[in-house]
Chains A and B, each alone.
Chain A
Amino acid sequence: MSFQIFDLSRSITKKQTVAITGLMLISFVLVHLAGNLFIFDGPKPFNEYAEHLERFGIFKKIAEWALFLVFLIHIERVTSLVVQNIRAAGGLKRYAVDNSRGPRSLATRLMPFTGTFLFLYLICHLYDFAWANDQGIRSMINGKSLGLYGLVVNSFKNPIHCWLYVVAMYCLCLHLTHGVESFFQTFGIQDSRFTLLVRKLSRVFALMIMIAYSSIPLYVLYILKI
């Protein structure tokens, strides 16, 4: 009898790595959302929350690097899977007639594209808010610096910026629609009786995330008076 060795390169293990890192990223998305929603309370609670996070010091740095690592693993594993898939199928153009019968959805087809777009947007997003000077000119509202709150409000008062954010959240919604559902299948916590329920619930979850996140720039652009 041959004995198995724990092998990270096996196809199922690779997918499960993607699934588990995906779950970690989803939990980050939820925590980040909870913090973001302080913006509806005005400048003080929002900035206080941001300062509160800063107080964690070294632990915040460790958490950030861990998150970065999770991102890298997620992206690297997915890239390797996609390359293998294209090779296995013998290229991108496979059949003369593209006429699939199954439930393959738009979200599923677009997974690599929504993922890539989100990654690129994330870099812009970090550049905009996380790496920007929150006491600088971009944080000024009516001649007074309002810290991170000012930075966010000034950015989203620009319609292009605001709608780019909404588009990114739509991509996140599509990505999560397939991602959450896939998590259950890939980890085998799935049964044919629950397939449809899991699909519906992941759609609802993804839609809620999109609505909650998008409400922030839309509120700033169309409702908030400064």
Chain B
Amino acid sequence: MSKKINLTLKVWRQKNCKSPGAFEVYEAKGIDTDMSFLEMLDVVNERLTKENIDPISFDHDCREGICGTCGSVVNGQAHGPVKGTTLCQLHMRNFTDGQLIVIEPFRAKAFPVINDLAVDRSSFDRIIQSGGFISIKTGQAPDAHSLPVLKGRSDSAMDAAQCIGCGACVAACPNAAAMLFVSAKVYHLNILPQGEPELKTRTINMVKQMDKEGFGNCSNEYECEAACPKEISVSHIARLNQQHRKSNFT
């Protein structure tokens, strides 16, 4: 059964990456507990617009937990307090009546604030671009089993490919490292025959680009895995470390 709750929001407001930001407090009254977190923000924004206040900017797209566009730090946790969900799939039933909710953008040097809670994550796109191409035969559909893949390998590749690139790993990492993202993106291609020929260049180039974008370094604290809405394992980071080492020496 849904019910109505009243909340106090402490939201980070910032015009752009050059201007300093600050917290503003807003009341969110009569929020349906079946609403998602973003729907709650929509309700607050409608009221703010009527009151001639700039609505709170936040990133969103599919609102189904699969696109990786949304994401904010809610009460100190990337994507909020529920494990394995994105912000759009976080429902207001996880909050209590009268609760104070602190909402901040993902904070990292490589994710400059665009406006309020919206951050520029194009550094992730540039890392993906630096990975380059994969070798596949184009043309007609290939015969079934023309490229045999072991079951374990295909499972591992699918686990890594679950990464939606939301940036929660960077937001949760005390060092703002992007290792979980990069390792997942490197690994889901490296382990398959289609991605194997470019394994070394892909690994080195993506790590190079990651460093260039100003992300931090992994200190094996595993906060990323805990915050990841797709629960991607840190063992991918170990595999990236291993493949980077091997790529370095050849």
Residues of A within 8 A of B (CB): 1-4, 6-7, 10-16, 81, 84-85, 87-90, 94-104, 108, 111, 178, 181-182, 184-192, 195
In the complex, what's the smallest C-beta–C-beta distance from A162 to chain B, in angstroms? 33
A85 touches B175 (CB 8 A): yes
In the complex, what's the smallest C-beta–C-beta distance from B231 to chain A, in angstroms? 11
Identify B204's interface contact among A4, A81, A102, A103, CB under 8 A: A4
Identify A97's interface contact among B76, B198, B222, B249, CB under 8 A: B76
B217 touches A14 (CB 8 A): yes
B31 is an interface residue with CB less than 8 A from chain A: no
With A16-B241, A102-B172: A85-B108 Cβ-Cβ less than 8 Å = no
Cα distance A192–B237 when bound, in Å?
A: 11
B154 is an interface residue with CB less than 8 A from chain A: no
Q: Which residues of B contact A13 (CB under 8 A)?
A: 244, 248
Identify B210's interface contact among A11, A87, A181, CB under 8 A: A11
B57 is an interface residue with CB less than 8 A from chain A: no
Cα distance A94–B95 when bound, in Å?
A: 24
Residues of B within 8 A of A (CB): 10, 23, 73, 75-77, 81, 83, 102, 104, 107-110, 172-177, 198, 200-201, 204-205, 207-208, 210-211, 214-227, 233-235, 237-245, 247-249
Cα distance A15–B237 when bound, in Å?
A: 12
With A87-B214, A96-B102: A2-B76 Cβ-Cβ less than 8 Å = no
B215 touches A16 (CB 8 A): no
Question: Assuming A13-B248, A84-B217, A103-B222, what are 15 further A-B pairs, CB within 8 angstroms?
Answer: A2-B205, A4-B204, A4-B247, A81-B219, A95-B107, A99-B75, A99-B77, A101-B81, A101-B227, A102-B226, A108-B221, A184-B238, A186-B241, A188-B243, A189-B238
21 pairs of residues in contact across A and B, judged by CB atoms under 8 Å: A2-B201, A2-B205, A10-B207, A10-B208, A11-B210, A12-B245, A15-B241, A16-B245, A89-B109, A89-B173, A89-B174, A95-B104, A96-B10, A96-B23, A100-B172, A101-B77, A104-B221, A184-B238, A186-B218, A186-B241, A195-B235
B225 touches A102 (CB 8 A): yes
Q: Which residues of B contact A10 (CB under 8 A)?
A: 204, 207-208, 211, 244
A88 touches B226 (CB 8 A): no
B76 touches A99 (CB 8 A): yes
Cα distance A2–B209 when bound, in Å?
A: 14
Q: Which residues of B contact A6 (CB under 8 A)?
A: 248-249
Identify B241's interface contact among A2, A12, A87, CB under 8 A: A12
Cα distance A32–B235 when bound, in Å?
A: 34
B238 touches A101 (CB 8 A): no
Cα distance A94–B219 when bound, in Å?
A: 17
